[in-house]
Amino acid sequence: MPVSWISSVGVGIEVDREMSKSGALDLATGVGGKIKKEDVQSAVEQYEKYHVCFGGGEETRKANYSDMVNKYYDLATSFYEFGWGESFHFAPRWKGESLRESIKRHEHFLALQLGLKPGMKVLDVGCGIGGPLREIARFSSTSITGLNNNEYQISRGRELNRVAGLSESCNFVKADFMKMPFPDNSFDGIYAIEATCHAPDAVGCYKEIYRVLKPGQRFAVYEWCMTDHFDPDNESHQKTKAEIELGNGLPDIRTTKQCLDALKLAGFEVISEKDLAADSPVSWYLPLDTSQFSITSFRLTSFGRFITRTMVKTLEFVGIAPAGSNRVSSFLEKAAEGLVEGGRKEIFTPMCFFLVRKPLSES
């Protein structure tokens, strides 16, 4: 899931050590994932060229989505885990609620909406390193399979499952969610958290989910969407959209209507739809907002960002972090700026919630 800028530029209001990897060396040595360290800078350059800011186009990103998204997560995952923890997503928040608490509640909400019960077989589409998978498995006593096409994230997820004692009930499958390696009607429930936004074709992705879901069962998804306030003819809006795409490995960002229409075209019955950001008492983008200051979230501040940027540059200079690490930090920071702008202008949401059902009998 694309959470965008993480702690090396200072996110994480109230993010504590329990949520993140242990420190700077973990971040530095993890940059690049499964990419050879000497090839990281070249991978950064190739990734950047897919995007508008560097002369790339939407059709190229869609045609090469698998390579683009894999490069993105190889480059960005250690930054994500260092600052955001194991669950790479946003959440609506109550006043007085910590980021960590809101993330757990957001995951529990999905489990409740799906009606998960012990013994059910569940699929997490685009599972990252499995933070939500583990939380939902513990909450619902279900068996969850995480689908992910990035080998580095799967290796991290398996290790975290082992540490959590969930290796028997939860597993990972490496595959493209546009071509899932499961038989028809395999799962009792399916969810996706800020992940299917990476799909080059929403209808094709939702059709695969429809295919592997059992008749009468539900699919719940949090989608990244441009809202009805987005004006495609507004240059400022387009700039914000391009920054979010660059910093989050996205071929395109669909509108809420496009996602809703795609779910219907895939064959689903729509139970409910809502932008959960609209009613959130605390803005979802607050962890990325540098105008906020808190001693407990020092990395969030402009000075905190300066310190962590300097740290990344230094570790790269002395050879602990691979060449190109600072460039990853830079495009993730640009993405954070785009996300905050998108949130303030109300032209973007990372939590458009759709709950749909596969009919018992297909017409």
Q: How far apart are CA 44 and CA 71, in angstroms?
A: 8
Q: Token digits for 21?
A: 């990897």
Q: How far apart are CA 206 and CA 358, in angstroms?
A: 11
Choosing from 135, 194, 243, 341, the catalytic residue is 194
61-66 LR contacts (CB < 8 Å, sep 24+): 61/200, 61/245, 61/250, 61/251, 61/252, 62/200, 62/201, 62/251, 62/252, 63/200, 65/198, 65/199, 65/200, 65/251, 66/149, 66/176
**How many separate helices (H) and strands (E) can be counted in the chain?**
12, 7
121-125 vs 269-275, strand pairing mode: unpaired
Cα 21–Cα 25–Cα 26 angle in degrees, nearest 5? 35
Q: Collapse the DSSP code of 193 into the 3-class scheme (helix H, G, I; strand E, B; otherwise coil) and give the result.
A: strand
If you ran DSSP here, which 8-state letter would residue 286 be given? G
- Could you confirm whether 14 is annotated as catalytic? no
Q: Collapse the DSSP code of 225 into the 3-class scheme (helix H, G, I; strand E, B; otherwise coil) and give the result.
A: strand
Q: Which residues of 331-343 are buried (b: 16+ CB within 10 A; e: fewer)?
A: bbbbbbbbbbbbb
Report the catalytic residues.
Answer: 194
